[in-house]
Amino acid sequence: MSENVRELLVSRKTGESCIHVKHRSGLDIFIREMPGFSTVQALFGTKYGSVNTMFKTAGDAEYTSVPNGIAHFLEHKLFENEECGVFELYARTGAAGNAFTSFDKTCYLFSCTKNYTENLRILLDFVQKPYFTKENVDKEQGIIGQEIRMTNDRPEWRVFFNLLRNMYHEHPVRIDIAGTEESIAQINAELLYKCYDTFYNLNNMVLSIAGNVREDEILKICDELLRPCEDKGLECVFPDEPEEIAAPEIYEKQPVGASLFQLGCKCPPAETGDIKKLMAATVAISIIGDASSEMYGRMLNKGLINSTFGGEIFSGNGYFSAIFSGESAQPEAVRQEIFGEIKRISREGIDEKLFGRIRKSLYGSLIRELNNVGAVANLMINSAMSGFKPFDAIDTVSELTAEDVLRFIRDELREDRFVLSVIERMES
């Protein structure tokens, strides 16, 4: 591609807009100019997370398998270069820098109130300059090993990954994002460069920037610093995953103040770009467990739950689940209440007033996020990496019907697909 290709993305419902540029280097760039705001946030990310452990490019004869945790390991190492650490560079400009690795992406970010062009230069420069040696890899193995041990002691982390391990048989989403001490011991500089060269290709990456910025200034820096990449035809594969859960429940004792639970339903994975299923599922979870529902009030009066009770949708490449969670001394009773409510709704249908209120509430929260610089920057990169456009969620929620939500509840929230994970309070 010899020239940048620009398009204006506009919400059908609200008229809100942002700029998408397919840069001649191969990078997708999303910009939202927000004049009058005092802050800027930028994220530079790759579609590379903990689940991407088997892959090949068009030039590879066979698939490459890599140790669990290598995406997270690579993220840590990119913050070091031959001259100095990246945090030191950001400290000189007054920016706050950070990074994270999730199941399906790795992102590097900064937020600032001034010098955004200088900070953007730092961001684009260091992410494109890997520096791995045997010495710094060996050192990092000890650091990340300690991090793994610390997170394994966190009850909220344990209850979630116990849920995933009993929900999924083969999919790598069941493995901790950081891997295990055994898996990271297999990582070396050669493997890190292999993963970097494969996944940190600009055709597999996204830059998102929002706030008090100017498109022309951003693109000028991108034109200077981005190195054109040939699309390698990256392909990731995952093990065949049965529809059935691995086990219906798991209990573990920990020294916690109150017992924790997560009740998750293993649903069929959504197709790439299927925003309608995601929004229908999000509304469904709220309808079942909303604080104003009869079920919520009943469980609260019985002492089965407290204000920590809630629900969420957890989804990505090859996985999709609806999860209820909270604190409870009687998680099995909570499970039966939820099963009963799903049956009742499936039989009687959805109350139109409740549906209307929850849909409006979700729509309103999506609109409010457009006035938050960080939320907008995250919206643009998350949408792009999921195969959506930034305003698709707003437009989809505005058109969602009660029938769409009822179909999800009836078809996908099956009792035999639920897993109960409990961290029980250890008696002294």
Cα within 13 Å of Cα(173), Cβ side:
25
pLDDT attached to residue 273: 80
The radius of gyration of the chain from alpha carbons, rounded to an integer in Å, stands at 23
* pLDDT (0 to 100) of residue 271: 87
CA 205/CA 26 separation, integer angstroms: 8
| Gap between the terminal Cα atoms of the chain | 66
Domain limits of the chain?
A: 5-236, 249-425
SS3 40: strand
Predicted pLDDT at 204: 97
Closest to 395 in 3D by CA, of 367, 371, 368: 367
* Residue 75 annotated as catalytic: yes
Residue whose token pair is 């030039």: 59
Burial of 125 (0-12, 13-18, 19+ CB in 10 A): middle
pLDDT at 7: 97
Query: How many whole angstroms separate alpha carbon 116 and alpha carbon 122?
Result: 10
5-236 matches 249-425 in fold = yes
Match domain 5-236 to its CATH number in 3.60.15.10, 3.30.830.10, 3.30.70.3270, 3.20.20.70: 3.30.830.10
Each residue's pLDDT tens digit in the chain (428 positions)? 679 999 999 999 999 999 999 999 999 999 999 999 999 999 999 999 999 999 999 989 999 999 999 999 999 999 876 666 788 899 999 999 999 999 999 999 999 999 999 999 999 999 999 999 899 899 889 999 998 998 888 999 999 999 999 999 999 999 999 999 999 999 999 999 999 999 999 999 999 999 999 999 999 999 999 988 899 999 999 999 999 999 999 999 998 889 999 999 999 999 888 999 999 999 999 999 988 888 999 999 999 999 999 999 999 999 999 999 999 999 999 999 999 999 999 999 999 999 999 999 999 999 999 999 999 999 999 999 999 999 999 999 999 999 999 999 999 999 999 999 999 988 76
Rounded-to-integer distance, Cα 56 and Cα 180, Å: 24
Domain 249-425: assigned CATH number: 3.30.830.10
Q: Catalytic pick from 75, 249, 327, 341?
A: 75
* pLDDT of amino acid 84: 63
Which residues lie below 8 Å from residue 360, measured CB to CB, with a gap of 6+? none
The type of residue at 246 is A
Single pTM value for the model: 0.94
Cα separation, 389 vs 367, whole angstroms: 15
CA distance 256 to 260: 8
Give the model's pLDDT for residue 428.
Answer: 60
